[in-house]
A and B are shown apart, each in its own frame.
Chain A
Amino acid sequence: MNIFRIIKFAFENIAVNKGRSFLTMLGIIIGVGSVITIMSVGAGAQSFVFDQIESFGSNLVGVLPGASDEEGPPASVFGVIITTLTYDDAKELRKIPHMVAITPYANGNANVSYLNKTINVSFSGVSSEFIEVEDASVEKGRFIHSDENESVAKNVVLGNVVAQKLFSDDDPIGKKIKVNQESFTVIGVMKKRGSSFLTNQDEQILMPVKTAQKILLGINHVSVIRGKVDQKENIPLVINEIKKILQKRHNIKDEKKNDFSVRSMDQALDIIGNVTDALNLFLGAIAAISLIVGGIGIMNIMLVSVTERTREIGLRKAVGAKSGSILSQFLLESVIMTFVGGFIGIIFGIIFSSLIALIVNYFGYHWELLITPFSVLLSVSVAVIIGVVFGFYPAYKASRLNPIEALRYE
């Protein structure tokens, strides 16, 4: 048997029923297209999230109040407020070797007003080392000095957008503003950092941590402590030190009873990576279901085709086609359909992914268009496998036809 001639027969037959073949392929086109789009969107979202996290600064460790499984979410996610972590803890942790900067965060919301303008913003009480920890910088004026914490100075540093909203084109430095009716002096304006998906730092105001605690919040604890380590390799060492110091300070003997948890950015990235990987896989699997539905469509149409062409099959057998030749011809028809469908699906998938990237970028977020060769290879090979699997039964049925009965078929 001549394989090229058989491929030609398969192509001819697909071409003869153009409309039908296209509709049959549509299932595969949609399946492959959506697998590629979803995997691309997933990869894009993942890298977007990673970028966002890394923009906070590298080599960071975070201390969160409340014990938690290191792989799971922190206690605060469940709305539990734990008050054991304090500014003094932060000061003590600063003394760890390799720790280059540290800042606690005491967070809240406040109404800020200047003249007749009032806006609601979130505020963070931080230490003077916030700048190093977060890789941030001041545009105008200066940042909080370390002694201003102890003196509970009523000074604020404005986020770039806050400054814009309150002062427009005026120079805010040295001006008095009201924060929840308390009078504060503006000492600086932060450089624009761009939007970040967790908090918009440009719409935030910063003040000494003690000021936030005592004057605005009336608390003694902090929400989180973040520290910067000199080198990535030293992070595990520092984490160990943090645990030791805090256990001692909080009088904890049993490690299982820790009232805090320590995380590094790497861990966070790992967790988020795991979660998003699982999510991508899940979405990809859902998209793959449409591939299976497409495969069933192919089987259906091939069964119809075998019945329609019973006489043709009989004739082919009469002129010398072996069962294997008939099997190959029909199997090739479904494989060619899934392959062509898969190819068109790739093109559609790439177009859709690019459109999504384009739209997201248009809204000012940095979104990378990520189409991995893996997703292309995976969806096309799955499509072709589906062609073989779902094409086999009709092809086998065709090859088993009795030539006499097939020739007499009306």
Chain B
Amino acid sequence: MSSKLISVKNITKDYHSGDVVTHVLKGVSFDIDDGEFVSIMGSSGSGKSTLMYVLGFLDKYTSGKYYFEGQDTSEFDDDKLAENRNEKIGFIFQSYNLLQRTTVLDNVILPTSYMVNCDVKKAEKKARKLLKRVGLGHRIDHKPNQLSGGEQQRVAIVRALINDPRIILADEPTGNLDSKSGEEIMEILQNLNKEGKTIIMVTHEQYTAECARRILHIKDGKIFNDEIVNNRRLATNGDYKK
């Protein structure tokens, strides 16, 4: 088990709203190894986003076991969870969630502010390098509202990478983008995976999900299919190639 990056055993998640209890996750179990690219697929309300937030330490599960890097996460307190989010995980959101009044560069180095020790100069240098890699070298001092959606999402990806996390968690990363920009994002994610990053992506679109190597189909809070993608789609420069 210790070789697994993520090991989830019979996780449940209930939401209480007044007297009404909603069972969002009803016993989910799976393992994810280092270097995998997994899509979590399902329709809205299926619990896929909740599952991702639980995996990313943003939300707490109700029962079951979640081992992260072999450690039982039920023993983590709030600060420990925050440290894990900071060091081990990079989030990419559907709506980018960039700070609108802050420059691209400062947005990217935001996670480094919450590290215990951080060299700002080094972080900025790294940020510039990464921004150039995703083709935003000329946008470093712009504000997010001067950028297109695709560019904003690329900034968000660089922000997710700045602390060298083991896992990238992407919640519908192409959901707000046109197909060409979406392709660019998928291409970046696939390249990152090729370099060894573990990527877990939530999506409801089959053709986006198929960019991953494995798809977990989730429905009504349960995984009903764990599928290996044999015929993986490779996104290259705006065109899907089978």
Contact = CB atoms under 8 A, between A and B. Distances in A.
Interface of A: 1-2, 5-6, 9, 12, 16, 311-312, 314-325, 403-404, 407
B147 interface: no
B102 A12 contact: yes
Nearest to B118: A2
A320 B53 contact: no
DSSP majority for the A interface?
Answer: helix
A261 B56 CA distance: 85
Contacts of B97: 311, 314-315, 318, 407
Given A5-B120, A315-B97, A325 B114 contact: yes
A320 B118 contact: no
Nearest to B84: A320
Interface residues of B, number: 28
Interface in B91-136: 91, 93, 97, 99, 101-102, 110-116, 118, 120
Contacts of A2: 112-115, 118, 120
3 tightest A-B contacts by CB? A320-B86, A319-B111, A5-B113
Given A311-B97, A315-B99, A407-B93, A322 B58 contact: no
Given A311-B97, A403-B58, A404-B59, A318 B91 contact: yes
B82 interface: yes
B113 A1 contact: yes
Contact of A319 (B53, B114, B120): B114
Contact of B82 (A12, A311, A322): A322
A319 B99 contact: no
20 contacts: A2-B118, A5-B113, A5-B120, A9-B113, A312-B99, A314-B97, A317-B85, A318-B56, A318-B91, A318-B97, A319-B86, A319-B111, A319-B114, A320-B82, A320-B85, A322-B79, A322-B82, A404-B58, A404-B59, A407-B58
B83 interface: yes
B143 to A, nearest CB: 11
Given A5-B113, A404-B58, A407-B93, A320 B78 contact: no
Contacts of B99: 312, 315
B217 interface: no
Nearest to A6: B113
A12 B99 CA distance: 12
A311 B101 CA distance: 13
B79 A320 contact: no
Nearest to B160: A319
B91 A319 contact: yes
A319 B85 contact: yes
Given A2-B114, A318-B85, A403-B59, 10 more contacts: A2-B115, A5-B113, A6-B113, A315-B99, A318-B91, A319-B91, A322-B79, A322-B114, A323-B78, A407-B97
A319 B99 CA distance: 12
A253 B116 CA distance: 84
A397 B85 CA distance: 21
B214 interface: no
Contacts of B111: 319-320
Max count, chain A CB within 10 A of own CB: residue among B59, B91, B99, B114: B114
B14 interface: no
Nearest to A5: B113
A314 B95 CA distance: 13
Contacts of A321: 82, 86, 113-114
Interface string B66-88: 00000000000011001101110
